[in-house]
Amino acid sequence: MGRIGTQRLAPQSRIASRQSGNDRMKSALLKVIDTDVSGMAAGDFSSWLGDNKRHVEKILLEQGAVLFRGTEIRSHEGFEQVCRSMSPDLRRYVGGGSPRSHLGGNIYTSTEYSARVPIPLHCEATYFPNPPDRIWFYCHRTAESGGETPIGNMARFAEVLDTRIVDRFREEGVLYVMNLSGGDGFGKSWMQVYECADQNKIEATLISQGAGFTWTDDGGLRVELRAPAIAPHPETGVEVWLSQAVNWHPAHLGPGHYERLLKLYGGESQFPKIAFYGDGAPIGADDITYLTGMQAAREVVFTWRQGDILLLDNSRIAHGRRPFIGDRAIYVGMA
């Protein structure tokens, strides 16, 4: 019925209908706080957050995302001060699967994948046994065009998916594999990922993260992380889709890209980054394409302004990135 109804709409009505659907999802998810914090530099804004912490936490529980707009934050140091006023245990991004630059303190750039490709929705670092509860973003410089950070609620997402896929993910979880170079090969090196060149220290980190690992003959490091695809929200108990299988599987970039990688590496298991079902079975490019589309349908979008700070409940609100042109700079803190 829904499909027939949509076909009867005139094109402009269809666009209006999609926009109002997006607006409805956005207002349910995202609370914009502007007048209260407008013109505040890091010191005043941190004090405001300290005084209003309970209010902000309540919004995170009810809606999941807060956008602070109109601040005078202009540096990663100021951003870190703000984050720590609510999230004193800001953490390092050691062993994470995305290319980032460490800016100082515990602040990083957002993922530095090619500006031309979209990054699908994902809750951050859910391949670790203890993912961050909170993720903070700060817009240091807007893109010339594009570069939005779509967000989406992953609570109850599994309920709308094909049960054939969900049951398998629920039972097996996800196996995330990174093949890291020793500095000369493709992709990220293990020195970059672990911010360290000491193999003993890296092994201690890997063990603390519950990772399997192998030092390879060509000087590289293979890392395997198993994690649940679906887990209850720590505060509400509602099931949340935490799988990053889409992001870790190159089929989300289209069949041409996936086929090229297969030719280059000879098999999925050798890709720099790849996801399998938890038992090691391949997920299949068609199912990744299906999941990519279903996740994209949950995206709600806002346009960044300089000084914006976005705070998400990472235990259920996923984020992504739209392609962009320009010198976009979004910084990240996790706690």
Residues of this chain that bind Fe ion (CB under 5 A): 124
Interhelix angle 76-86/53-62, nearest 10 degrees:
80
**Smallest Cα–Cα separation from 110: which of 274, 308, 266, 273?**
308
Q: Cβ 122 to Fe ion, closest distance in Å?
A: 6
If phi > 0 it is left, if psi is from -120 to 50 it is alpha, else beta; for residue 70 that is left
Q: Cβ 193 to Fe ion, closest distance in Å?
A: 15
Query: Which residue number, 166 or 318, has a Cβ lying nearer to Fe ion?
Result: 318
Query: Which residue number, 179 or 247, has a Cβ lying nearer to Fe ion?
Result: 247
Query: Which residue number, 97 or 307, has a Cβ lying nearer to Fe ion?
Result: 97
**Smallest Cα–Cα separation from 52: which of 36, 72, 63?**
36
Look up residue 105 and give its amino acid.
G
Query: Which residue number, 113 or 265, has a Cβ lying nearer to Fe ion?
Result: 113
Q: Cβ 318 to Fe ion, closest distance in Å?
A: 8
State which residue has the least CB distance to Fe ion: 124
Q: Cβ 67 to Fe ion, closest distance in Å?
A: 17
Q: Count CB-CB contacts under 10 A for residue 80.
A: 24
Whole-angstrom Cα distance, residue 195 to residue 256?
33
Q: Cβ 133 to Fe ion, closest distance in Å?
A: 15
Query: Which residue number, 71 or 98, has a Cβ lying nearer to Fe ion?
Result: 98
Query: Which residue number, 169 or 248, has a Cβ lying nearer to Fe ion?
Result: 248
Query: Which residue number, 37 or 83, has a Cβ lying nearer to Fe ion?
Result: 83
> Judging by beta carbons within 10 Å of its beta carbon (0-12, 13-18, 19+), is residue 189 exposed, middle or buried?
middle
Q: Cβ 111 to Fe ion, closest distance in Å?
A: 6
Phi first, then psi: what are they for 20, rounded to 5°? -70, -30
Q: Cβ 234 to Fe ion, closest distance in Å?
A: 19
Q: Are 94 and 269 in contact (CB under 8 A)?
A: no
Whole-angstrom Cα distance, residue 246 to residue 259?
16
Query: What are the residues facing 207 on neighbouring strands?
Result: none
Interhelix angle 255-265/285-296, nearest 10 degrees:
140
Q: Cβ 312 to Fe ion, closest distance in Å?
A: 10
> Judging by beta carbons within 10 Å of its beta carbon (0-12, 13-18, 19+), is residue 317 exposed, middle or buried?
buried
Query: Which residue number, 113 or 215, has a Cβ lying nearer to Fe ion?
Result: 113
